[in-house]
């Protein structure tokens, strides 16, 4: 018969052996489970499409699946708020946009977070080409035609966007201001739903991201009028810029990966490296460029600086155009 002390010792010994195993498990290297990237717009929109292009390569580099979590609403604020309040353990990130990270702090007066203070920059993802498109059955063939129609019938021409405060929203507001017209903004919960209504003729025009709009231009459902860049773009050299009609007009769009405040520097460094490698992959970069997205990885420090500059740039424009969150 075993002595009670022997049994106790065996039990304690087993416990002692289990402690290192438990400690090792608790300190397992990151990542050791799926990583979530939250997207603030509906599936099928440009932010969603671009993130999914990077999804598989990032997962392969990190050794864990990347899960896309679409949380549309409030111009990306719902998704941003979710990430701001997530555990800073490296398993929740945000694919932020110019709206969520640089415009919304001015556009919304009741935000309960500050993107610059409450989020940790990881890397820029890309610069996104926006295009000015109209349904194919509309009579307009140029920016000048669209402006003339808006002047002839104030408050009747409508433009759709992927949400309040996004680049598409302010592009339309800036067009109103610079052209001296009044059009009606119709916000949607993402580029996908907006594109459906644009093709159906329920709105008159949009500054849509190229990944969402160009396939519909190629199919003949939409007409491409112009690009809002400072210069004509290499992929569409015969497409004029809005600035050729309204000198000085320019709007850019961009995506960037950020995490919650408190994210460990080692995780930021590794995720940044994975983003750089993924965006340099020929298959990924070609797929993004085919969607009108220029891959643009950066250091966390450069992204932080860029977000500060973009916020400062857009704040007075938001105020001047009178754009308001709805």
> Which CATH number is 137's domain given?
3.40.190.10
Q: Confirm whether 4 is domain-assigned.
A: no
Beta strand extents in 188-269 (DSSP E only):
205-209, 222-226, 253-260
Looking at the structure, do residues 99 and 73 belong to the same domain, yes or no? yes
Looking at the structure, do residues 115 and 93 belong to the same domain, yes or no? yes
- Report the alpha-carbon distance of residue 60 to residue 24 in Å, rounded: 24
Tell which of 212, 244, 276 closes a domain: 244
- Number of domains the chain contains: 2
Indicate the pTM of the whole model.
Answer: 0.76
Q: How far is CA 112 from CA 80, 105, 115, 229, 233, in A?
A: 11, 10, 10, 33, 39
Q: Confirm whether 235 is domain-assigned.
A: yes
Tell which of 181, 211, 244 closes a domain: 244
Looking at the structure, do residues 148 and 220 belong to the same domain, yes or no? yes
Tens-digit pLDDT profile for the chain (326 aa)? 445 455 444 454 554 545 554 444 455 799 999 999 999 988 988 889 999 999 999 999 999 999 999 999 888 999 999 999 999 999 999 999 998 999 999 999 889 999 999 999 999 999 888 999 999 999 999 999 999 999 999 999 999 998 877 788 889 989 999 999 999 999 988 888 999 999 999 999 999 988 789 899 999 999 999 999 989 988 789 999 999 999 999 888 899 999 999 999 999 999 999 999 999 999 999 999 887 888 999 999 999 999 999 999 889 888 877 777 75
**CA-wise closest residue to 278 among 113, 57, 90, 111:** 57
pLDDT of residue 61: 98
Q: Give the sheet arrangement for strand 92-97, strand by strand.
A: 66-70, 35-39, 92-97, 253-260, 119-128, 293-295
Looking at the structure, do residues 140 and 219 belong to the same domain, yes or no? yes
The residues, ordered by sequence, that sit 6+ positions from 212 with a Cβ below 8 Å of its Cβ are: 44, 45, 46, 49, 191, 192, 194, 195
pLDDT of residue 3: 52
- Report the alpha-carbon distance of residue 231 to residue 241 in Å, rounded: 7
Q: Confirm whether 13 is domain-assigned.
A: no
Q: Confirm whether 11 is domain-assigned.
A: no
Looking at the structure, do residues 137 and 226 belong to the same domain, yes or no? yes
Q: Confirm whether 221 is domain-assigned.
A: yes
Full domain range(s) for residue 158: 130-244
pLDDT of residue 27: 59
Looking at the structure, do residues 82 and 102 belong to the same domain, yes or no? yes
Looking at the structure, do residues 137 and 123 belong to the same domain, yes or no? no
Looking at the structure, do residues 170 and 229 belong to the same domain, yes or no? yes
Tell which of 188, 220, 244 closes a domain: 244
Looking at the structure, do residues 101 and 171 belong to the same domain, yes or no? no
Beta bridge partners of 97: 255
Looking at the structure, do residues 155 and 177 belong to the same domain, yes or no? yes
Q: Confirm whether 24 is domain-assigned.
A: no
Q: Confirm whether 14 is domain-assigned.
A: no
Looking at the structure, do residues 315 and 262 belong to the same domain, yes or no? yes
CATH code: domain of residue 280: 3.40.190.150
Q: Confirm whether 270 is domain-assigned.
A: yes
Looking at the structure, do residues 221 and 293 belong to the same domain, yes or no? no
pLDDT of residue 326: 57
């Amino acid at each position: 018969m075993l002595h009670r002390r022997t049994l106790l010792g065996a039990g304690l010994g087993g416990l002692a052996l289990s402690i290192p195993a438990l400690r090792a498990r608790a300190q397992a290297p990151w990542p050791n489970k799926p990583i979530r990237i939250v997207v603030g717009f509906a599936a099928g929109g440009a932010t969603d499409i671009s993130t999914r292009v990077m999804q598989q390569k990032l997962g392969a580099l990190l050794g864990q699946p990347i899960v896309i979590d679409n949380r549309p609403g409030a111009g990306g604020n719902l998704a941003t708020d979710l990430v701001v309040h997530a555990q800073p353990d490296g398993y929740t990130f945000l694919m932020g946009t110019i709206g969520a990270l640089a415009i919304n702090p001015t556009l919304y007066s009741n935000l309960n977070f500050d993107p610059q203070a409450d989020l940790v920059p990881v890397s820029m993802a890309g610069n996104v080409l926006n295009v000015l498109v109209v349904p194919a059955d509309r009579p307009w063939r140029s920016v000048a035609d669209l402006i003339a129609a808006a002047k002839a019938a104030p408050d009747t021409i409508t433009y759709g966007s992927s949400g309040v405060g996004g680049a598409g929203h302010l592009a339309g507001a800036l067009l109103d201001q610079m052209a001296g017209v009044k059009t009606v903004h119709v916000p949607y919960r993402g580029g996908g739903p907006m594109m459906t209504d644009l093709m159906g003729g329920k709105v008159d025009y949009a500054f849509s991201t190229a990944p969402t709009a160009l396939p519909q231009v190629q199919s003949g459902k939409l007409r491409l009028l112009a690009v809002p860049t400072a210069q004509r773009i290499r992929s569409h050299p015969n497409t004029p810029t809005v600035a050729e009609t309204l000198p000085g007009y320019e709007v850019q769009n961009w995506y960037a990966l950020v995490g919650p405040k408190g994210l460990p520097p080692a995780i930021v460094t590794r995720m940044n490296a994975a983003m750089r490698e993924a965006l340099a992959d020929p298959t990924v970069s070609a797929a993004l460029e085919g969607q009108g997205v220029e891959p643009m990885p950066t250091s966390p420090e450069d992204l932080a600086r860029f977000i500060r500059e973009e916020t400062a740039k857009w704040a007075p424009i938001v105020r001047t155009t009178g754009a308001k969150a709805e």
